Structure 1
Amino acid sequence: MTAPSQRPHARSRNPAAHRSERVGWLRAAVLGANDGIVSVAGLVVGVAASGADAAAVLTSGIAGTVAGAMSMAAGEYVSVRSQADTERADIAVERRELAEDPHSELQELALIYVQRGLSPELAQEVARQLTAHDALGSHARDELGITDTLRARPVQAALASACAFVCGAALPIAAVLLAPPGQVQAVAIPATLVALSISGALAAWTGGAPIVRGALRVAFWGALAMAAATAVGRLFGVQV
């Protein structure tokens, strides 16, 4: 019989992968993919509804894809860059306050832990030990809410958004290329709704949200966008 000390230990489990680690690129990718599908599908459906030929519809879709991808990348970069600049400025202020009045900063950190449920004595001890280990990191995390996991990454967000936009736009472009003459709308609309449902379901699954609800809400807004684009195309379409 194997002695207890010689028995194989239970296999250690890997740390759980938290979905919040994906939030930086996931938000930008989901937004870019859905925007690529909806924007370019709405564009080609609207142009097709105006009576334009297939070449004009395809040209508008490709131009919309290029312009949209660049716009998404620029928008994400500027937006997330502003967030990163704000984080950097807040950390600089915190660094200066730690240098000028470390005692007040220690008490401020202890008060945060008291408000989170620790006793004053334990909060004081925790604040003292964390300050000795990494004062600036502790204040950035617990006072400012800035962590490595959620820190703003402008380039990552811009690339994720632009690439996802192009991938999303590929579907309506393919519909234009594969649709029989005069049937762009009949092919692009259902294909777009299916793609949006899949995109919404994948985004919901990745983020831990209900899959059916995620699929339906994305498909709904896509259908609304294409209906509006079709109405505009028919209203302002001019046959030459």
Structure 2
Amino acid sequence: MSSDEDRSSAGDRGHEGEPHRQGELGSRLNWLRAGVLGANDGVVSTAGLVVGVAGAAATSAELLTAGLAGLLAGSMSMATGEYVSVSTQRDSELAALDQERRELAHTPEAELEELTGLYMAKGLPRELAHDVAVQLTEHDALAAHAETELGIDPEELTNPWHAAGASFVAFTVGALLPLLAIVLPPSSIRVPVTVGSVIAALVLTGWLSARLGAAKVAPAVARNVLGGAIAMAITYTAGVLLHAA
């Protein structure tokens, strides 16, 4: 094979691998975005809890107990919810793949025509769309239909345990900041230190979520900080009123 043919072949292989690399990148970004949001939930919920308890003039030991209880409850809730949600998604994916296997086994001609039509809908002329459908079907019929028709990669189905673990870790990391900020400083400045630390963390998570989502940074940060500030203000006021009562 000549050098020109080598370069052409290498270029074709590079184009074939490009969608896979883009899919992997998109998957990583989704996981990263979910981690940022999980950490943000840990920051806000734990901050609201410990600031509210601090408003009721709790001791450091009481704050630590309340904060750890909130951290564990929140992280387990996040992990359980994510596990249930992703398990449902995975069950749906498996059911769709089973249905596709049955259709390929019983009506292969109709499935080939369907795949041809899908590629024609993407702009390919019928003859080329048919040739592509035939080649992909000969290579891996299920993968061709799953990716084109269902948007599923049979080799990379969602894993509920991975999702649950990621949510647990992300929430825990976020919750540790307000917990340490409320327990470590002297009682006279623990609330201002916690509020300042939480606001700084919310600025960071708001910025990260906006960047990962290709959104405007300023509105995302403002919403994040405002929501956290309101949560802390409400719980602190409730704690003070309950202590006074």
Where on the TM-score scale, by shorter chain, does this alignment land: which range?
0.7 to 0.9
1:181 matched to 2:187? The reply is: yes
Q: Which amino acid is 1:88 matched to?
A: L
Among 201, 216, 225, the residue aligned to 2:222: 216
Task: Report matched runs for 1:158-237 at 5 Å.
Answer: 158-235=164-241, 237=242
Q: In 2 relative to 1, CA 217–150 (structure 1 residues): closer, same or farther, beyond 3 Å?
A: farther
8 Å CA contact 1:51–1:239 kept in 2: the answer is no
- Cα shift readout 1:26-79 (whole Å, capped 9, x = no counterpart): 243122201110110010011112232332222111111111111111111111
Q: In 2 relative to 1, CA 149–228 (structure 1 residues): closer, same or farther, beyond 3 Å?
A: farther
How much has 1:207 moved relative to structure 2?
4.7
Helix, strand or coil: the match of 1:180?
coil
1:68 matched to 2:74? The reply is: yes
How much has 1:226 moved relative to structure 2?
1.6
Q: Which amino acid is 1:104 matched to?
A: A
How much has 1:210 moved relative to structure 2?
4.2
Q: Which amino acid is 2:243 matched to?
A: V
Q: Which amino acid is 1:217 matched to?
A: R
- Measured on the aligned residues, the alpha-carbon RMSD in Å equals 2.6
Q: In 2 relative to 1, CA 82–118 (structure 1 residues): closer, same or farther, beyond 3 Å?
A: same
TM-score (norm 1): 0.85
Aligned to 2:112: 106
How much has 1:183 moved relative to structure 2?
3.0
CA distance in 1: counterparts of 2:121 and 2:145, whole angstroms: 15
Q: Which amino acid is 1:195 matched to?
A: A
**Which deviates further from its counterpart, 30-39 or 151-160?**
151-160
Task: Report matched runs for 1:46-65 at 5 Å.
Answer: 46-65=52-71
Aligned to 1:77: 83
How much has 1:220 moved relative to structure 2?
2.5
Q: How many residues align?
A: 229
CA distance in 2: counterparts of 1:239 and 1:91, whole angstroms: 61
Structure 1, unaligned runs of 5 or more: none
Q: Which amino acid is 1:37 matched to?
A: V
Structure 2, unaligned runs of 5 or more: none
8 Å CA contact 2:33–2:212 kept in 1: the answer is no
8 Å CA contact 1:130–1:138 kept in 2: the answer is yes
Aligned to 1:33: 39
CA distance in 2: counterparts of 1:157 and 1:204, whole angstroms: 21
Among 93, 100, 119, the residue aligned to 2:99: 93
Aligned to 1:129: 135
TM-score (norm 2): 0.83
1:238 matched to 2:243? The reply is: yes
Among 146, 149, 157, the residue aligned to 1:151: 157
Helix, strand or coil: the match of 1:126?
helix
CA distance in 1: counterparts of 2:77 and 2:155, whole angstroms: 26
CA distance in 2: counterparts of 1:152 and 1:139, whole angstroms: 18
How much has 1:107 moved relative to structure 2?
1.0
